[in-house]
Chain A
Amino acid sequence: MKKFLMFFIEPFKIISNRNVSEKITNYFNKRPILCALVSFIITLIIVFFMYAKPYYGW
């Protein structure tokens, strides 16, 4: 029963123990230019969807 339960719970545990958020925040905090670049790309995507989508009527 324990093994059966672990099978479902273990993947979540592994993901949470990997400290993904910590790695990402440390990475970006050390590279401020990348922050600007990522926000630029996100802006491009937002602007694309806000302008192009209604214009072309997708």
Chain B
Amino acid sequence: MILGQPIWKFIIDFYVIWILVFFLFKFLINNKRIFSVVLSVLVVYVVFYLIQIADIFASSLILGYIVEWLPIIIIVVMAPDLRRSLEIVWKQEKVRDDFEMGSERTKQHIVDAVMVLASQQIGALITIEKHNTLDQYAERAIMMNSEVSKEVLINIFTPNTPLHDGAVIIRGDQILCAGAYFVLSDNQNYDKTMGSRHRAGLGISEITDSLTILVSEETGNVSVAIEGILLKMNDREKLLEYLNMFMK
């Protein structure tokens, strides 16, 4: 017996609550926008609690209304984010143990394609998967499962073709899919004029351990997004060196 309850009941109770708390925690952690709102709400609740203790009349009354309506307002305002976070709450868990990075040939083809695209100022977004699976994005894109080659990559990003808008996801030596859409980063540290392609590359690098190569349509500049950082990399050798480090 634990505190007047049979042990088996206590264990089941503990397990169910743990799963619920874990689900809620993952749900909040998966989306930083939701998490920041929840933090703000917590601050409001703490202020409300303190004001009630201090028995301050007007603030207590107004905050009381706010606290009462806040959950409904959040659900209405954050509905798309909540839906998305619910969708991926378990999917984010998937980490590939059997992952294999691309060969030397794959790296060469990626770098060659990127340099050609940059020289012709054709926008491109190439994401190389590592441990964290990108299946959830690939599912909504055009599956390809083709071998990585310079020609295919150039062809995908050629303007006015069906697949040129969106990202290519590379898994090992294969192009998993093309035309994938990522969640845009809302990092305030970067220029507000930064295009949606760069924001998408930055967004995926913030939530997964993937590496994204970006080619700017306007300038032809090559950048690499990794762990939420954007690095300019116009030099072919530098890019290859970076890929060698990443694709070990």
Contact = CB atoms under 8 A, between A and B. Distances in A.
A38 interface: yes
A25 B35 contact: yes
Nearest to B28: A25
A40 B22 CA distance: 8
A39 B25 contact: yes
Interface string A1-35: 00000000000000001011110111011101001
Interface residues of A, number: 24
B188 A29 contact: no
| Chain A binding surface, main DSSP class | helix
A38 B5 CA distance: 25
Contacts of A42: 21, 25
Interface residue SS majority, chain B:
helix
Interface string B125-139: 000000000000000
Contacts of B14: 43, 47
Contact of A40 (B18, B24, B95, B188): B18
Given A35-B25, A55-B3, A43 B32 contact: no
A57 to B, nearest CB: 12
Contact of A29 (B2, B4, B30): B30
Closest 5 CB pairs of A and B: A21-B36, A39-B22, A25-B32, A39-B21, A43-B18
